[in-house]
Structure 1
Amino acid sequence: MQLGCFSMSLAVKDLEKSKLFYQKLGFEVYAGEQAHNFLIMKNGDTNIGLFQGMFENNILTFNPGWDQGAQNLQTFTDIRQVQQHLINQGIDIVQNGVSGESGPANFSVIDPDGNAILFDQHV
């Protein structure tokens, strides 16, 4: 089972301050819009998202259908298959935005320590 592109989505208090900090660590703005309170930053194959005022805690994010450069993959494990696998493993889905048989969808689970994990397919 391939989970796709991985990133850490960080809930930040001051987007500009956080952007400057991560730039000092070698990250560059890759996507997003500061005017919309989010930036996606990249350092090699490492991706982080900075989100101001969008959610309360940090989130682990997987994007089925994308590689680490957010490029569409020719073949991938569809989010519906990922979700069904997790359900079969006894993992509770806490937020379900999956519908239809293909295309964009998302869902979330919570790990045993309370960390949110978002599965967010864009293709």
Structure 2
Amino acid sequence: MKLGAFSVSLTVKDIHASKSFYEKLGFTVIGGELQHHYLIMKNENCVIGLFQGMFDKNILTFNPGWNGNGENLESFTDVRELQKQLKEKDVTIIKEVDGGEEGPAYFTIEDPDGNHILIDQHR
């Protein structure tokens, strides 16, 4: 199963303080919008998302259709197909895909320890 690019989405209290902290660790901003309270940062192959006021807790995130640099892949498994495959394996879907047959969509699952996993397709 190919889930796409992996990152950790961190819920933060102060996006400016978190940005400054992670820059000290060598991360640079590769996406997001500070004025909308989220940033995507990268250090080598490690990608994190900083999100202020959007989530209750940290989330493991996979992005079908993207590589580790947030660049579009020519070929990928659509999020709807991934959801179908997981349902066939008896994985409980917490929030199912809404909407059409293609394009941006997401679903969420939870591991046995309560960690949220977001499968988030942007195209």
Alpha-carbon shift at residue 96 of structure 1 (Å): 1.6
The total of aligned residue pairs comes to 123
C-alpha root-mean-square deviation of aligned residues, in Å?
Answer: 0.9
What stretches of structure 2 of length at least 5 have no aligned partner? none
Query: 1:80–1:98: 8 Å Cα contact kept in structure 2?
Result: no
What stretches of structure 1 of length at least 5 have no aligned partner? none
Whether 2:6 is the aligned partner of 1:14: answer no
How far apart, CA to CA, are the structure 1 residues paired with 2:121 and 2:34?
23
Query: 1:62–1:120: 8 Å Cα contact kept in structure 2?
Result: yes
Match of 2:40 in 1: 40
Whether 2:75 is the aligned partner of 1:75: answer yes
Under a length normalisation based on structure 1, what TM-score does the superposition of the two structures give? 0.95
How far apart, CA to CA, are the structure 2 residues paired with 1:71 and 1:105?
17
Match of 1:62 in 2: 62
Counting aligned pairs with the same residue, the percent is 56
Alpha-carbon shift at residue 85 of structure 1 (Å): 0.9
How far apart, CA to CA, are the structure 2 residues paired with 1:122 and 1:39?
15
Runs of 4+ in 1 over 6 A off after TM superposition: none
Matched residue type, 2:81? Q
Match of 1:116 in 2: 116
Secondary structure of 1:85 counterpart: helix
